[in-house]
């Protein structure tokens, strides 16, 4: 379990990015949403110790992040960065994904197995010899996910994993998220895409100006006045509400609800 207790973060220059956030999560898919600058990335970076609390505490499976190194915490909490292109430094995709597992001290064979498995999960198995910098935006995003998967962390944070991706790549990322969740990983999905929230999350946490403005069930979340927080309803929900069909989570559910009414 990850426990965030009364977390404050003040950046140098006195920017108060988080103001007393508390949150507990386990093996679930939580969507972390909120307008630009609301503190989502700042919160995420506390969960694997990249940032330390100015006040309050973050406890990861019983470990206080102030007392453990990022390397230790990264075995438990994987963080896929927003804008992952800044994160690559190896000459090819294989080495890039192998870096983490190698640092875990696994044998070369185990490392190889992990790399191949992780690349398969994101459909990049044919890219082993390519330079990470030669990949397209969507491929880089998937490579960043593979690098984290290869570490097999219990919790995985994805910071806007579908931004800039086309439909096909977005679908792939969704599939990976669903699969990881089924395998027992806890997922914290940071996103501006409400369609993704509707389809994937059971629970939603809304940050607003560094504070938690909502934490609860996805259906309840979409009952809020989202425009007040700079967010829009997903199109599917707008259509469904217009049609008087209420809350649905997928096109399939919408069609079923429509069929029942006809
Ligand atoms: N290194 C830093 N130094 C000073 N202020 C920072 C730093 N990083 C972030 N901030 C500020 O902290 C606030 C929260 O930023 P954060 O990146 O956590 O927001 P976010 O919710 O992830 O936004 P976005 O949706 O744009 O990714 C913003 O006002 C931002 O300008
Ligand atoms: Mg961010």
Tell me how crowded residue 162 is: count the other CB atoms within 10 A of its CB: 23
Residues 236 and 150 grouped into a single domain: no
Query: DSSP per residue over 52-80, as a string?
Result: --SEEEEEETTEEGGGS-HHHHHTTEEEE
Give pTM, 2 decimals.
0.92
Q: Are 58 and 9 in contact (CB under 8 A)?
A: no
11 lines ligand 1 (CB under 6 A): yes
Top pLDDT among 138 and 58 is at 58
Q: Do β-strands 55-60 and 29-33 pair in parallel, antiparallel, or remain unpaired? A: unpaired
Say how many Å lie between the CA of residue 136 and the centre of ligand 1: 26
Q: Determine the Cα–Cα distance for residues 158 and 79; give it in Å rounded to an integer.
A: 6
What stretch of H or E contains 45? helix 40-47
Residues 189 and 213 grouped into a single domain: yes
184 lines ligand 1 (CB under 6 A): no
Mean pLDDT, range 25-45, rounded to an integer: 95
Mean pLDDT, range 123-134, rounded to an integer: 94
- Domain coverage including residue 132: 2-230
The 3-state secondary structure of 157-172 reads EEECCCCCCCHHHHHH
Q: What is the pLDDT of residue 15?
A: 85
Residue 154: which CATH number?
3.40.50.300
**Ligand lying closest to the C-alpha of residue 39:** 1
Residues 242 and 113 grouped into a single domain: no
Q: Determine the Cα–Cα distance for residues 126 and 130; give it in Å rounded to an integer.
A: 9
Confidence of residue 8 (pLDDT cuts 50, 70, 90): very high
Q: Are 79 and 73 in contact (CB under 8 A)?
A: no
Top pLDDT among 213 and 164 is at 213
Residues 167 and 184 grouped into a single domain: yes
- Give the side-chain half-sphere CA count within 13 A for 74: 18
Q: Are 88 and 132 in contact (CB under 8 A)?
A: yes
42 lines ligand 1 (CB under 6 A): yes
Residues 35 and 108 grouped into a single domain: yes
Which residue has the CA at smallest separation from atom 12 of ligand 1? 17
Mutation to probe ligand 1, out of 38, 46, 50, 229 (largest number of atoms < 8 A from CB)? 38
Residue 134: DSSP 8-state? G
Q: Are 185 and 106 in contact (CB under 8 A)?
A: no
Residues 186 and 148 grouped into a single domain: yes
Confidence of residue 87 (pLDDT cuts 50, 70, 90): confident
How many residues does this entry show for the chain? 262
Ion ligand 2 neighbours, Cβ < 5 Å: 40-41, 82
**Total domains, the chain:** 2
Confidence of residue 262 (pLDDT cuts 50, 70, 90): low
Taking alpha carbons only, the member of 26, 34, 68 closest to residue 156 is: 26
pLDDT in tens, 183-241: 899 999 999 999 999 999 999 999 999 999 999 999 999 999 888 888 888 888 888 88
Residues 202 and 255 grouped into a single domain: no
Angle CA(171)–CA(28)–CA(17) in degrees, nearest 5?
A: 90
């Amino acid at each position: 379990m990850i426990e965030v207790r009364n977390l404050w973060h003040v950046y140098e220059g006195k920017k108060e990015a988080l103001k007393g956030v508390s949150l507990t999560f386990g093996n679930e898919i939580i969507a972390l949403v909120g307008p630009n600058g609301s503190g989502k990335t700042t919160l995420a970076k506390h969960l694997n110790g990249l940032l330390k609390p100015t006040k309050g505490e973050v406890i990861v499976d019983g470990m206080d992040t102030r007392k453990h190194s990022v390397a230790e915490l990264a075995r438990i909490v994987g963080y896929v960065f927003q804008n992952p292109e800044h994160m690559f430094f190896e000459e090819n995709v294989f080495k890039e994904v192998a870096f983490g597992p190698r640092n875990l001290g696994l044998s070369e064979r185990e490392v190889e197995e992990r790399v191949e498995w992780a690349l398969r999960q994101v459909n990049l198995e044919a890219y082993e010899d390519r330079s990470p910098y030669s990949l397209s935006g969507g491929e880089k995003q998937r490579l960043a996910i593979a690098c984290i998967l290869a570490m097999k962390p219990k919790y995985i944070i994805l910071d806007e994993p579908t931004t800039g991706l086309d439909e096909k790549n977005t679908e792939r990322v969704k599939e990976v998220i669903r699969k990881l969740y089924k395998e027992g990983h806890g997922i914290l999905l940071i996103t501006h895409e409400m369609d993704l929230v509707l389809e994937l999350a059971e629970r939603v946490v809304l940050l607003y100006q560094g504070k938690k403005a909502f934490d609860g069930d996805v259906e309840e979340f979409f009952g809020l006045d989202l425009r007040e927080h700079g967010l829009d309803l997903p199109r599917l929900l707008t259509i469904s509400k217009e049609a008087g069909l209420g809350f649905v989570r997928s096109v399939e559910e919408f069609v079923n609800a429509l069929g029942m009414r006809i």
